[in-house]
């Protein structure tokens, strides 16, 4: 393997690790926000004080019923998805990728063996990942391309994909997700 090939392989591994840590940072933040919104919804609309205030304000009974249903739906989704557990899982994955990134950056002269070792470590972390949300991965790719000032070509993610990136997997070819 030539020095140029080794440097390219080290760069490609570093890029993939940085991309993965950004992805998991975004997923962690998403699940933490969802958990906080669910808790706030439960506290706010689940309290009898709010129901009493609605009654005292002569609000229609359907408003109380709708707010109760909102609490039930949000709490059920939170329970089924396990937002707190998912946030911790993505935090753990992000930390593992950041540790690998630090290891790669510390190496001044990568060899073919170290590149293979880093790839093996990256694949071992990826083995523990839940299925990837492709739209979100594209957003992270674009963010990293922007942050590295054009080291890799940026992509323009379709607005529909951008809006639903945390909610929909978008199991389509990448070409269909970019403008």
Give 88-143 pLDDT, tens digit per residue: 999 999 999 999 999 999 999 999 999 999 999 999 999 999 999 999 999 999 99
124 and 174 part of one domain: no
pLDDT of residue 151: 80
Full residue range of the structural domain in which residue 138 is found: 131-179
- Number of domain units in the chain: 2
33 and 104 part of one domain: yes
pLDDT of residue 36: 87
52 and 106 part of one domain: yes
Q: How many other C-beta atoms lie within 10 A of the C-beta of residue 44? A: 13
Instruction: Report pLDDT digits (tens) over 32-56.
Output: 998 888 887 777 666 655 666 666 6
Task: Of 53, 59, 127, 70, give the one whose Cα is nearest residue 96.
Answer: 127
33 and 84 part of one domain: yes
Question: What is the mean predicted confidence (pLDDT) over 19-34?
Answer: 96
pLDDT of residue 62: 76
pTM of the predicted model over 0.85: no
Of 62-66, 86-90, 171-175, which range is least confident? 62-66
Question: What is the mean predicted confidence (pLDDT) over 27-32?
Answer: 96
86, pLDDT greater than 70? yes
112 and 167 part of one domain: no
Instruction: Report pLDDT digits (tens) over 135-170.
Output: 999 999 999 999 998 788 899 999 999 999 999 999
35 and 60 part of one domain: yes
The secondary structure of the chain, three-state, reads CCHHHHHHHHHHHHHHHHHHHHHHHHHHHHHHHHHHHHHHHHHHHHCHHHHHHHHHCCCCHHHHHHHHHHHHHHHHHHHHHCHHHHHHHHHHHHHHHHHHHHHHHHCCCCCHHHHHHHHHHHHHHHHCCCCCCHHHHHHHHHHHHHHCCCCCCCCCECHHHHHHCCCCCCCCCHHHCEC
How far separated are the first and last CA of the chain, in Å rounded? 37
12 and 88 part of one domain: yes
Whether the Cβ atoms of residue 161 and residue 173 lie closer than 8 Å to each other: no
123 and 141 part of one domain: no
Tokens representing residue 91 in the block? 């935090």
148 and 84 part of one domain: no
Whether the Cβ atoms of residue 112 and residue 49 lie closer than 8 Å to each other: no
67 and 114 part of one domain: yes
Over the chain, what is the mean pLDDT? 88
110 and 168 part of one domain: no
Domain boundary among 96, 113, 129: 129
169 and 90 part of one domain: no
């Amino acid at each position: 393997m030539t020095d140029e090939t080794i440097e390219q392989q080290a760069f490609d591994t570093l890029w993939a690790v940085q991309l993965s840590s950004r992805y998991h940072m975004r997923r962690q933040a998403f699940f933490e926000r969802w958990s906080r919104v669910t808790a706030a919804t439960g506290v706010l609309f689940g309290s009898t004080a709010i129901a009493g205030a609605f009654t005292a304000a002569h609000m229609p009974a359907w408003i109380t019923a709708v707010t109760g249903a909102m609490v039930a739906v949000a709490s059920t989704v939170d329970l089924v998805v396990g937002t707190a557990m998912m946030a911790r899982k993505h935090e753990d994955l992000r930390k593992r990728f950041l540790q690998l990134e630090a290891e790669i950056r510390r190496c001044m002269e990568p060899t073919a063996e170290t590149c293979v070792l880093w790839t093996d470590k990256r694949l071992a972390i990826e083995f523990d990942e839940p299925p990837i949300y492709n739209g979100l991965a594209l957003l992270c790719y674009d963010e990293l391309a922007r942050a590295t000032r054009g080291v890799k070509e940026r992509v323009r993610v379709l607005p529909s994909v951008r809006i639903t990136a945390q909610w929909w997997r978008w199991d389509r070819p990448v070409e269909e997700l970019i403008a």
